[in-house]
Amino acid sequence: MFVRTENASTFFRLYPVVSTIIVAHVIFFLLSSIPTPLSNNILKTLIGFNAAIFQGEYWRLVTPLFLHVHLGHMIVNSVSLTLFGPALEKIIGKSMFLVAYVGSGVLANVATLFLAPPMYSHLGASGAIFGLLGIYSYLVFFHREIMNQHYSHIIFAALIVGFIMTLTATHTNIISHFFGFLGGAILAPFVAFRTKLYGR
């Protein structure tokens, strides 16, 4: 379930939503990191910035999910999505996966909006990634025919490592990580009402 053996062509065909999000990560990173007037405008316009959101720039609740601080940040989130996204896209379906991913990330950013200072700015897909782990946690408890003991141990190990890194790393949006996970768990019954076994 969490081991990827597909080549790039097969991966794109089997997991179109995950693939599209990863491609968006790369494109936005290149557009925002190469020093041009466009890169400055992208970050200035799309980064999560609480004060601007309070003034009506609500797209900033969504766009930070596709932006990253540096190459390592983008790679870690994209690899995490590659590991945990494909199985969930198959289990709950493409449209529900997109709702779950974006919904978890937006809920994490809404929590950041109200719990962080007005001048706080943020970017990254981590809230949405933790949202996927929140949905997996729901499946562990309510769909054990999908998440057996082995897979359950992997999810809980990923959560422990993720939350330890959240609490110990510098410049981490702790609010986004915790509320992304909580948002995924809240959304889970609504996006996972029609599940199917992975690989069928």
Supply the residues annotated as catalytic.
126, 177
Contact criterion met (CB below 8 Å) for 88 and 18: no
Q: What residues contact 136, with CB distance under 8 A and at least 6 apart?
A: 84, 88, 147, 155
Give one DSSP letter per residue of 54-112, joined into a string.
HTT-GGGGTGGGG--SSHHHHHHHHHHHHHHHHHHHHHH-HHHHHHHHHHHHHHHHHHH
Contact criterion met (CB below 8 Å) for 188 and 136: no
Per the listing, tokens 């562990």 go with: 140
